[in-house]
Amino acid sequence: MARESGARSSAPAKSKGKVRGKAVATGTAVAEKKKAKNLPKDLVPGVPDYNWVRRDVGEFQGVFKSFLEINAIQRMHRICESSVSKFVRLEPCRPDERVYMGSSSEPPHFYGYQCLFRDLGVCLPFTQFECDFLNFINSAPCQLHPNSWGFFRAFQVLCSTLGIEVSLSVFLHFYQLKMGVPPYGLMSLNGRKAGGLFSLYSQSYKNFKQEFFRVALVGVDLLEDGAFYFGGLPKFPFY
């Protein structure tokens, strides 16, 4: 009887042990998940097949799903000069398409954020200064934060107003690129110790990462074109 009583009394204890063990395991899993979620941005893992891209950048898919929406954008905003309009075709992106993806199909293309054209007055083709800057930082247009686009757009307007040459070296005297370590998110510019020329653009860009489209270049002769190519090579990184 004593043995049976002992067996009965030990059973609940064993059950409680299992419950405690399960609770500890669950708590550990939650803690690990929370820890991974709260990793510093520089330690967030990269996108599969695009290890240089931070994982959170890959979470954004384009909100423009149809040519109807894209055509509305073209009617509302000045996207390009009339001299190149026949070569520029805006296209909606596939659900699995992201701004960091390379060109795997024809025609050649790059990506653009709507806010660049809507708010900052960017117009295709990019100016020589814009091409030089994108080449200097080795960045496609959508890999640079819109606030940073605002800096060098404002710099061009200032130089034009003052009647002075737009100089990349002068601009880089005031601003430097902030990149961190790979995998990378969007790149941005910081004012140097001497201070930048302009304050941050006041517009709040909460949803700009989803508002992108494909800019396809159709019927462009790589050797003859001078707007998007020079000597057969792109004038700026497409991706």
Whether residue 58 is contained in a domain is answered as no
- pTM for the complete prediction? 0.75
Contact 126, 132 (CB under 8 A): no
Parent domain of 133: 63-234
Grouping H, G, I as helix, E, B as strand and the rest as coil, residue 99 is coil
Q: What is the pLDDT of residues 172-229, one digit of tens each?
A: 988 888 877 777 788 888 887 666 666 555 555 677 999 999 999 999 998 888 999 9
Whole-angstrom distance, CA of residue 173 vs CA of residue 176: 8
Provide the number of structural domains found in the chain: 2
Of 135, 114, 65, the closest CA to residue 215 belongs to 114
Whether residues 114 and 26 fall in one domain: no
- Render 148-162 in DSSP notation, one character per residue: HHHHHHHHHHHHHHH
Whether residues 46 and 130 fall in one domain: no
Whether residues 33 and 124 fall in one domain: no
Sorted by sequence, the CB contacts under 8 Å of residue 159 that are 6+ apart come out as 165, 166, 167
Query: How is residue 126 written in tokens?
Result: 């990019």
Of 35, 38, 50, 36, the closest CA to residue 183 belongs to 50
Contact 51, 100 (CB under 8 A): no
Whether residue 239 is contained in a domain is answered as no
Whether residue 72 is contained in a domain is answered as yes
Whether residues 190 and 112 fall in one domain: yes
Whether residues 44 and 111 fall in one domain: no
Task: Label residue 22 exposed, middle or buried (CB < 10 Å: 0-12, 13-18, 19+).
Answer: exposed
Whether residues 46 and 94 fall in one domain: no
Query: How is residue 183 written in tokens?
Result: 């995998």
pLDDT number for residue 104: 64
Query: How is residue 104 written in tokens?
Result: 């795997």
Whole-angstrom distance, CA of residue 63 vs CA of residue 92: 9
Whole-angstrom distance, CA of residue 158 vs CA of residue 142: 24
Whether residue 209 is contained in a domain is answered as yes
pLDDT number for residue 238: 94
| Mean local confidence (pLDDT), 125-134 | 96
pLDDT number for residue 205: 66
For residue 170, give the amino acid letter: V
Percent pLDDT > 90 in the chain is 49
Query: For the chain, what is the mean pLDDT?
Result: 80
Whether residues 105 and 223 fall in one domain: yes
Whether residues 111 and 13 fall in one domain: no
Among 10, 28, 53, give the residue marking a domain's end: 53
Whether residues 49 and 120 fall in one domain: no
Q: What is the pLDDT of residues 4-62, one digit of tens each?
A: 444 444 444 444 444 444 443 434 333 433 444 444 544 556 777 777 788 888 889 99
Whether residues 150 and 214 fall in one domain: yes
Angle at 187 between CA 178 and CA 184, to 5 degrees: 95
Whether residues 72 and 40 fall in one domain: no
Whole-angstrom distance, CA of residue 216 vs CA of residue 146: 21
Whether residue 144 is contained in a domain is answered as yes
Whether residue 148 is contained in a domain is answered as yes
Whether residues 95 and 202 fall in one domain: yes
Angle at 117 between CA 116 and CA 118, to 5 degrees: 100
pLDDT number for residue 44: 56
